[in-house]
Structures are given as C-alpha cells and as structure tokens.
Structure 1
C-alpha cells in the first residue's frame, strides 16, 4: 500500500499534473442489477479478479473534473452534472448501466469534502483534479458485457497539464487515428487514450507538444489536439470548433461556445479542413485538464502554419481564459447552474 501524501509535503505552485495518494475516495458497486449505496474508502488499492472483463475486453469509462478554491476559502465544482451525463452516454456505448446522476454529483462533493485540505489555495492556479471511473469486474474469458461493475472517484491536486501553462506550443499532424468514425470517439473510454500513446510519443520525440488528429475517413479535417478539443478564432471573428461523430464532446468546449458571444465572437461547430487553417488568427486546445492552451503553430506535411504568435497569447484566447477561470474560481458570475458549491466543515 502506498504512503498517503500530507498537505505540507506539497509545493502548490509547482505541482505538475500527477497522481498523489489522498486519504479518501468514493466507491459504489453494481451487482444483481442494482447499485450499492456507496461511500468513502481509504484503501487506494482494489482486489479484482484476474479475469475481470475490463482487463481483457476494455469495458471501462472515465471522466475528468476539478474542484476550485475560492478567494473566500470555499470550494466550487464546475458543471458536474455534465460530467455525469457524459459518463452515462459513454456507458450507453459500452453497454454499461447508468450511474445515477444524483449519486455521481453527491459522490464528487463527498470526495472533495473528505480531502478538502488538499484543495490547493486560491491564487496558486492549482486545482483538485477529480477522476470518476467505472469498469466491469465480472470474471470471464469470453467476449461479453460484464454484469458487475465498480464505480470510483478519486482526487489528486494538480497544476497545469501542459508545462508553461498559458504559453503557445507547437503541434504536428499525425498519420494514425485516435478513434474510428463510427467507433467510440464520442465516448470517454480508456481504449481511445491507449491508441493515442504512440502518435503522442512520436510527436513529443519530434519536439512538438502533441499531435493533431485528422478525421479517420479522409485524413483531411481536424478532429482533436492530443487529448483536448480544438478551437480556432477566425480573422473575421468566429469561434470555431470541429463537429464530428468521433470527437469527445468537451464540457469546456460547450462552455466556451456559450461564452464566446460575450466578446463579440460568433460560435460555430463546423467542419475544419487542415488545408484551410490559415484563416485562423488564434488557435488553442481546450478541456478540463488543458483548460485553454494556446497553439502557436501547426506543422502539416512539412509546412509550419503560425497563428497569432509562437511566444505570445492572442487577445481573444486571453479573454476567454480569464472569463472561464474567473467563473470556475468564483471571481466572476457565470451562467446559472454552472457552479456547484461544496459544503465544507
């Protein structure tokens, strides 16, 4: 069993994006067609059969969310109901029973409250990352859907996903696919991320931040940036993001589509050809882990396409980042229902 971390062991301003074994996590178990009540547990290890379905046939889904320390010392969750709803859409794709939305959100609150001393202080830019995940545990060697499942949420304090935070980075288009056109791209399943390891590693070795995935049919249209969604701001004031059946629907993406008109931008989900990216004045990656990460350039077939700057953040990207994080940390009022307060002791 690993040693539990203590708050005084952490350098809040230099956390990086890594795992720390915190005191508490939530677990619930599905058996005989129903969920257990679930509750907090202290052991970060689980006893699971070697023949558990998820080990061999990949019936596993997960989510990513964050808890944010406010200036007044309280803690916010950002749109947790959307995480619950997306997990259940993923569950539908993998033939898994729904996790009740109320249980999901309440479990997130319980995990944050139990580990509240690990929610990073306001002003550090760090957050408490929450990882809900859910997998089949039925022992089997034939290819079938499981009938028994474990649902868990653990937490870990994190800093920026990309080193340097809000600093433009360089991407390159890849030749490999993250997900099939009619496959599991819209579901947040482990296999999609396993398939991204090789192209991501190749991009890193070539000196890039990550790979640009193109559509799996034509290899022409932009899909995602590594493990994040793509956005581009055109020179005529449109906030555009790709629309495709193989893209994970990012909660951050839909939040930014809703906020873009506040800055005079026209929000659009549309097909974006890699051959037409010079129309963008600014480009970025967006997601729970990435938040908003500016893209300085994309190299495609040996040609580098530079956007606003390779060293400076574009003005709209800065405004959107400030607005989004202002809502998340409680500094600014956001749309109704976006923020859920976590009751603390």
Structure 2
C-alpha cells in the first residue's frame, strides 16, 4: 500500500492489504537466526518444500488494539506462542521460543503502527504468524529448513451493523480425524472445511457445525470457531475433545464467565440431540470474538435459541466484557494485556 494512500477505516473488511513491514526468521542447522524486518512480501522457497507437498506448516492469528489514549496493545500473545509450539510439536517442526514469537509480533506492530485502526472504529490490526517447512526434500519426512514469518493487515469490525445472530447447519462432513490434527492450527483442517462451508452458504447459512468425527453425536466446532452454550440454569458449557482447536478466545470467555459473570462453567460433551438445554449459544474466535447463534438446523428442523434477531443478554455481556478488555476500556486479569512500546 502506498505510504501516501489514506485508509478508509469505515470500509475495512477482512481482506489482504500489503503493509509496510513483516518479520522473517530462518531455522537451519538446528537453530533459528536472529530474524529481521523486511519490506518484501514475497517468499522464495524450494519447489520441493514440505509445506507445499505434505502440509508441514502451521499458523496463528491474533490482533493489536488501539486504546482510547492512543496506545497499542496485544491480547494474550503468550497463548498464541504456546499453541504455535503445540502445532510444531505435532508436525515435527522446531519449537520457537516464546520471547522470540512475542518480540516478532511487537516489531511488526510497531513498524506498521500507521495501519492500526483508530480507537472507536471497531477495527484492529490482524497479525498472522506462521511456520513453514522449506528446503530441498522430496520424501515424506521433516524438512531440513523452516521459515517463521509474521505479517499483519488492518481489518474492520466483524459486525458492521452491530452484534447480530446468524444461523448454522449441521454438516455430515468432518474437519479433522479423531486424534488427528484437530487440536493444531494447521492448514489441512481449513482445507477440509472449504467444501462444507460452501454447501452451508449455498443453503443460506453462515457456516456449518461439525459433530465429533467418531460418533457424529456431539457438537465440536462451528466453522473455524469454537462453540459455547448457556443453559437454562445459567451454566457456560463448551465442548471438550481431542479434535477441537483450543481457542484462546474460548478459554478467555470461560474465565470471564466464571470470575466476572459468576456462572458455573463446564467443558464436556455437548450432544446435538440435547441442544434444547441451551437458552443462548455462540461461536467464538479471534475474528469475531463472539458470533451469536440464532438457530441450528439439525435433521431438517431449525432449533432457535434466544432469538434469530436479538442477542441474548449473557452472550452480549460476555462480548462487551472481552472486547472492553481488548481495547483497554476494562481492566482484565493479570497477564492478559501486553503493551506495545
């Protein structure tokens, strides 16, 4: 993006915009180099890279927020660093020191400060760290070299007209195998979700909901997000499974539900044939924070929770609390906020 070109913050969506700088570091001969910022947004890699052929790659997503006083902060980047390393461990890729991950994100945000949307617009600077296997390798084995990169793009408010419920349908497809890579943030899980997402959208739904791949009786993920429900007796319930990505947003909501809203919190099985136990439901993740679920279609019947048009009161309170912490309007639990200096 041209340095003299002005951004219309109100028209930002979730699209790629070339920002000024990104961070890149290479792992070779058993260690990571020091890393550096670069203006070049193109990677040159071997045609035989394992990331291209065998899916040896993983990524993360987090945001930088502009606060009311003009400062910038990150939300729990240490948890993203930990999850990235969990993915690396699963795919036999080298671990990345937490301090290197956080420092890289900080460098990228500071170097691209002009792209952090102003406070009050609802916009944020989305940060995408990733690690890919590179080098000359044609066999199905770990790569000889790796690239760690962090880039960022300014993104607009997810709900342009305010927080609003949407409907989902149950999918017959699986996004991940039992005890496969469902807990890791790897590209293969997302590739598997593209066809079922397309089917859901063509049928007029926001996305599809995946049931557990072993029995197809329990809710696991909502598109690329985690599920939660509020029971009629005010319990915050979210699925627990070895094939669910451990959402940082979800675990933040779990803590806030218990400590701020004083709800009983439960991680366990969420059976699809018992969704009438919930008076509210939502999907949660980095992009939207919370997407309220109006209804779920299952066996050709739409089960509506609180409303198809209005957000439930507990869902709204959770959303307002978490977003308030992220933008610096509410003090969050110790260790959640990292100031960019």
TM-score range, shorter chain: over 0.9
In the alignment, is the contact (CA less than 8 A) between 1:237 and 1:265 conserved in 2? Answer: yes
Deviation at 1:288, TM superposition (A): 0.7
> Match for residue 276 of structure 1?
274
CA deviations over 1:233-292 (Å, ceiling 9, x no partner)? 011010010000000000001100000021131111110000000111111010111211
Match of 2:333 in 1: 335
Q: Is the 8 A contact 2:77 2:102 kept in 1?
A: yes
Q: Tell me how far apart the structure 1 counterparts of residues 274 and 11 of structure 2 sit (CA, whole Å).
A: 38
2:48 is paired with a residue whose SS is: coil
Deviation at 1:16, TM superposition (A): 1.0
Aligned to 2:101: 104
Instruction: Give the paired residue count.
Output: 340
Q: Is contact 1:26–1:152 with CA below 8 Å preserved after alignment? A: yes
Which ranges in structure 1 are unaligned for 5 or more consecutive residues? Answer: none
Q: 1: distance between equivalents of 2:336 and 2:208?
A: 31
Aligned to 2:237: 240
TM-score of the aligned structures, taking structure 2 as reference length: 0.98
Mapping of residues 116-155 of structure 1, within 5 Å: 116-155=113-152
Q: Structure 1 residues 198 and 74 mapped into 2: Cα distance closer, same or farther (>3 Å)?
A: same
Check conservation: 2:23, 2:151, Cα contact below 8 A: yes
Counterpart-to-counterpart distance in 2, 1:57 and 1:31? 19
TM-score (norm 1): 0.97
Q: Displacement of 1:161 after TM fit?
A: 4.2
CA deviation vs aligned residue, 1:109-163 (integer Å, no higher than 9, x gap): 0000000010000000010000000000022221111120000000000124466
Kindly indicate whether the alpha-carbon contact (under 8 Å) linking 1:5 and 1:21 is maintained by their aligned counterparts in 2: no
Report SS of the residue matched to 1:136.
strand
Mapping of residues 303-314 of structure 1, within 5 Å: 303-314=301-312
Consecutive aligned runs of 4 or more in structure 1 exceeding 3 Å deviation = 5-9, 160-165
Counterparts of 2:109 and 2:315 in 1: how far apart (Å)?
30
3-state SS, counterpart of residue 263 of structure 1? coil
Alpha-carbon distance between aligned partners in 1 of 2:7 and 2:107, rounded to the nearest angstrom: 22
1:256 maps to 2:253: yes
- The aligned counterpart of 1:316 is 314
Per the alignment, residue 180 of structure 1 pairs with 177
CA contact (8 A) 1:138 1:147 kept: yes
- Tell me the equivalent position of 2:53: 56
Q: Secondary structure at the match of 2:15?
A: coil
User: Which shows bigger deviation, 161-170 or 246-255?
Assistant: 161-170
- Asked whether the equivalents of residues 7 and 117 of structure 1 are also in contact (C-alpha less than 8 Å), the reply is no
Segments of 5+ residues of structure 2 without an aligned counterpart are: none
Match of 1:193 among 190, 193, 204: 190
* Structure 2 counterpart SS, 1:196: helix
Deviations 1:86-116 (A, max 9, x none): 0000100000110111000011100000000
Distance 1:124-1:57 versus aligned 2 partners, 3 A rule: same
Question: Per the alignment, do residues 165 and 216 of structure 1 end up closer, same or farther by CA in structure 2, a change over 3 Å counting?
Answer: farther
Which of 202, 206, 215 is matched with 2:203 structurally?
Answer: 206
Q: Which residue of 1 aligns with 2:153?
A: 156
| Residue 5 of structure 1: how far off its partner (Å) | 4.6
Distance in 2 of aligned mates of 1:8 and 1:119: 15
Q: Aligned pair 1:19/2:11, yes or no?
A: no
Superposed CA RMSD: 1.1
